[in-house]
Amino acid sequence: MNVVITGGAGFLGQRLTAALLQRGTLRAPSGAAEAIDQITLVDLVAAPASPDPRIASVAGDIADPSVLRQVIDAGTASVFHLAAIVSGMAEQEFDLGMRINLDASRALLEACRARGHRPRLVFASSVAVYGGDLPATVPDDAAVSPQSSYGTQKAMTELLISDYTRRGFVDGRVLRLPTISVRPGRPNAAASSFASGIIREPLNGEESVCPVDASTRVWIMSPRAAVEGFIVGHELSAEALGSRRVVNLPGLSVRVGEMVEALERAAGSAVVSKIRWERDRHLERIITSWPGALDATRGRALGFPTDESIDAIIGAYIATLDAPRSLHFPFEEEC
């Protein structure tokens, strides 16, 4: 079995790769468990070198059909589509966001369709597909109404995957991820980057600017739960999902102020003093358009993991700071 991961050089892509290598098997399109023979990591930059012979790295533009023809072959049983232009950049650079978040996604679906073998395809979507006047807890069947180009591009890709699945071209699974926190590395152009920055930078002795009010509620998930969720989503049977291929993943609904309080409990007031509160109206408009809580009853019933608490998420991140260097990955992507 061959597996393709777009965005494979990124933070979540690298963690998913490690989890798949350890697992060793995935369910093939037939539903039977098969050994993973190769994982092809596709990204604009080459993935970090791996001593594992099952890893192949391809550096290239995923919007380029020739790159996709190179990596999607008759042996590709599974595709994890994680690559994306992050929310803030997609808002600033409309053409780039459309090219990577929408056009490349359709090109990927077309490459799968051309092979004619209906691979399983897991797509990392986002709660950014929601927006507008939302209730405190967004119901599972709420209509999407994105208020950003990023959310719009994710929503359009969701529809494409649902239709390609209906037509029998792929076996698609769309996972709407919460904001992922805490990410290692450096801040990126994602509107949600602050949700990691207000934890990561202070722990590193650096100042972090929080662009939203402490009362702002966010729907978050740990990297561990996200990676586990990708695998759970892949392994679900088509019958379990039915015709509704979009799943809201379980998250934690926390106020930004509660995140800071948890950081103080874990690391003390001197660390928290590194956070500077400076509201950014542009970012705040995007962030507050996203749901602060979702009804993820269906996701839990399907077996997707749930984080215990914000304290547990921060504690798990702190534990990685003393972990071997090999556990730290230099790139980031947003889902």
Indicate which residues carry an active-site annotation: 150
What is the sign, positive or negative, of the torsion defined by CA atoms of 218, 222, 227, 230? negative
Alpha helices (H) along 220-280: 223-235, 238-241, 256-267, 269-272
Helices and strands counted in the chain (H then E): 14, 14
Structure-block tokens of residue 73? 């072959």
137 with 248: CB under 8 angstroms?
Answer: no
Instruction: Report how far residue 249's alpha carbon sits from residue 37's, in angstroms, rounded to the nearest whole number.
Output: 29
Whose CA is closest to 280, among 179, 149, 189, 204? Answer: 189
* Cα atoms in the Cβ-side hemisphere of radius 13 Å centred on 39: 33
Quick one: tokens of 302? 């399907």
Token reading at 240: 């379990």
Rounded distance, CA 263 to CA 269, Å?
9
Where are the extended beta strands (E) located within 20-145? 25-27, 33-35, 38-43, 55-59, 76-81, 120-126
Integer Cα distance of 187 and 183 in angstroms: 9
Assigned token pair, 101: 């978040």
Could you say which DSSP state residue 191 is in? G
